[in-house]
Amino acid sequence: SAVISQKPSRDICQRGTSLTIQCQVDSQVTMMFWYRQQPGQSLTLIATANQGSEATYESGFVIDKFPISRPNLTFSTLTVSNLSPEDSSIYLCSVAGTGLNTEAFFGQGTRLTVV
């Protein structure tokens, strides 16, 4: 398993500003994922971040709104830009293992409230 540290754990931000969320893993991983979990909803994949290449975004998510960095195999950031109240959600990073046991492990999440 992997230990994932995500910060901040929560934040309250003004509309129009941006929030950058950091995700640190205790081991090197190839694939890192960023999810959004809106209140009472399941997880929706925002993008997949691979080291050394541009992130791959899912339908409905764009780089201008959710820029992602992946400078090395243990770290990634997700920025939520030009915040609006609709961005209030929990944001989670996760990593996949290697080989056949590619189950995903999650950070504790960042609870964002936009006011």
Partner 1 sequence: QKEVEQDPGPLSVPEGAIVSLNCTYSNSAFQYFMWYRQYSRKGPELLMYTYSSGNKEDGRFTAQVDKSSKYISLFIRDSQPSDSATYLCAMKETSGSRLTFGEGTQLTVNP
For partner 1, which residue of 11, 13, 65, 104 counts as binding (CB under 8 A)?
104
Q: What's the Cα-to-Cα distance from 56 to each of 63, 74, 93, rounded to whole Å?
A: 9, 18, 14
With a CB cutoff of 8 Å and minimum separation 6, the contacts of 29 are: 2, 73, 74, 95, 96, 97, 98
- The letter for the amino acid at 84 is S
User: Per CB under 8 A, which region of 1-9, 11-19, 64-72, 75-83 contacts partner 1?
Assistant: 1-9
Site string for partner 1, 10-49 (x = CB under 8 A): ---------------------x-x-------xxx-x--x-
Shortest distance in whole angstroms from residue 82 CB to partner 1: 26
User: Where in 84-103 is the site for partner 1 (CB under 8 A)?
Assistant: 92, 96, 99-103
Q: Provide the residue count of the chain.
A: 115
List of residues 6+ apart from 12 with CB closer than 8 A: 113, 114, 115
**Eight-class DSSP state of 36:** E
User: Should residue 57 be labelled a site residue for partner 1 when binding is judged by CB under 8 A?
Assistant: no
Interacting residues with partner 1 (CB under 8 A)? 1, 4, 6, 31, 33, 41-43, 45, 48, 92, 96, 99-109, 111
